[in-house]
Amino acid sequence: MSSFSSCQSVREARRVAIFGGTHGNELSGVTLVHLWMKNGTEIQRRGVETRPFITNPRAVEKCSRYVDTDLNRAFTPENLSAPADGQLPYEVLRAQEINRMFGPKGSPDAYDVIFDLHNTTSNMGCTLILESSKDHFNLQMINYIQKALAPASCLVLLNEHPLLKYSTARSVAKHPVGLEVGPQPQGVLRSNIFESMREILKHALDFIELFNEGVEFPPCSVPVFRVSERVDYPRDANGNIMAMVHPNLQDCDWEPLNPGDPMFQTFDGKTIRYQGSGTIYPTFINEAAYYEKQQAFVATRRETLSANAVRKA
C-alpha cells in the first residue's frame, strides 16, 4: 500500500434506501423490509436517513417474481423516459415511480446508496453484486463487510459486461449494491438465510456511519468474480431443455470448472462436458428464475480490484 496513492474524496452518504420485494417471491428482503417499516430502530445510524422500501408490492402480494415483466430489468433509459399511459406494463410504471422517488438516475439528487435484497435458489452463500469496478466507495464498503463477517465468507460478483449487464432497480442510486443470499427456494423463508442477510446490512450501515463521521479507509484489494458469459441449458428444436445441471456441478457455485469437467446430464443419463478453453468459475447455478432467461449458470473469471483510500468530502 503506497503512501502516495491518492485518497478519493466522496460525498457523504446521507440518503440510503433498502429495497425488498424487487422480486416478490424472494422472501428474506420482503420480510426484512416489512419488519423495518414497522420498526426501523435496527437500521438507524447517526447522520444517515435509511429508508426501507417495497419496490414491487403487487408481486409481493401474489408471491410471484413479477406481475408483467421483471422489475429488475426494467430501469432502462427507454422505459424510464417512456410516456406514462395505460398501456405500459405494471413494472415499467413502477420503475418510473421509483426513479422519481429515489433518483432521477444519474442526477445529483439521486439517493446515495441503495441496497437491493435478493434470494437465489443457487448455492451462492452471501454474495454482494457490483455494477462498476471503479466505485471506490462501494469497494471499500465491501471490504469492510467482508472483514466484519470473517471467518464467514461473502463473495463479490462484478457485472460490468457490456452485453450481460442489466438495468437494475438499485442502479437509480449513485452507489448501487446488490445483496444475493442463497440457497433458498422461491416463496420460502429460511431462518439462517434471513439472519445472514440481516447481518450483512448491519455491517454495511456501520460502514456508512463511520464514513460519514470522517473515517478514512486506507487502500485495499478486493477479490471479485467478473461475469464473462452466460451459459444456457442444451435445448431441443422446440426450445425445451434437454439436460439438467450435472450432479458434479450442482451446488458448486464459485468452484473452478475446467475444460472436460461434467457440466450437464441428459434426462437419459448422458454426461455433457464443458468444452471451453480455460477455467471458469460458475455461479447462479440452477437459479429457478433464469430458466426463462436462457441461463443455466453464469461463467465468471477471478480478478482482484484495487480500491483507493476514501474519505468523505
* Rounded Cα–Cα distance for residues 292 and 232 (Å): 10
Nearest-approach distance from CB 185 to another protein, in angstroms: 3
Which of 13, 54, 205, 245 touches another protein (CB under 8 A)? 245
Which of 8, 12, 57, 63 touches another protein (CB under 8 A)? 63
The Cα angle at residue 251 between residues 261 and 71, in degrees rounded to 5: 115
Which listed range, 50-58, 89-97, 128-136, 288-296, lies at the site for another protein (CB under 8 A)?
A: 288-296
Name the one residue in this structure whose C-alpha cell is 464473462.
228
Catalytic residue among 91, 131, 180, 287: 180
Q: Which three cell numbers stand for residue 70?
A: 421483471
Which listed range, 5-13, 31-39, 104-112, 129-137, lies at the site for another protein (CB under 8 A)?
A: 31-39
Question: Is residue 202 a contact point for another protein (CB under 8 A)?
Answer: no
Question: Is residue 52 a contact point for another protein (CB under 8 A)?
Answer: no
Which of 152, 164, 188, 215 touches another protein (CB under 8 A)? 188
Reply yes or no on whether 180 is catalytic: yes
Nearest-approach distance from CB 283 to another protein, in angstroms: 15
Nearest-approach distance from CB 41 to another protein, in angstroms: 11
**180 annotated binding-site participant:** yes
Question: Is residue 96 a contact point for another protein (CB under 8 A)?
Answer: no
Which listed range, 14-22, 158-166, 183-191, 201-209, lies at the site for another protein (CB under 8 A)?
A: 183-191
* Rounded Cα–Cα distance for residues 137 and 134 (Å): 9
In the chain, the amino acid numbered 167 is S
Which of 190, 202, 230, 312 touches another protein (CB under 8 A)? 190
Which of 6, 81, 87, 240 touches another protein (CB under 8 A)? 240
List, in sequence order, every beta strand (DSSP E) within 133-174: 154-158
* Rounded Cα–Cα distance for residues 56 and 53 (Å): 9
Name the one residue in this structure whose C-alpha cell is 445472514.
196
Question: Is residue 84 a contact point for another protein (CB under 8 A)?
Answer: no
Instruction: Count other C-beta atoms under 10 Å from residue 130's C-beta.
Output: 23
Collapsing DSSP to helix, strand or coil, 34 comes out as: helix
Distances (CA, A) of 273 to 31, 38, 246: 40, 50, 9
Question: Is residue 189 a contact point for another protein (CB under 8 A)?
Answer: yes
Nearest-approach distance from CB 30 to another protein, in angstroms: 9
List the interface residues with another protein, window 110-129 (CB under 8 A): 121
| Residue of 91, 25, 73 lying closest to 288 (CA atoms) | 25
H or E stretch covering 77: helix 77-81
Residues in the chain, how many? 313
Question: Is residue 192 a contact point for another protein (CB under 8 A)?
Answer: yes
Contacts of 237 (CB under 8 A, 6+ apart): none
Which residues are documented as binding site?
A: 23, 26, 65, 72-73, 118, 166-170, 180, 290
Residues at the interface with another protein (CB under 8 A): 31, 34-35, 63, 121, 183-192, 194, 240-241, 244-247, 250, 265, 267-268, 286, 288-289, 291-292
Q: Which residues participate in catalysis according to the annotation?
A: 180
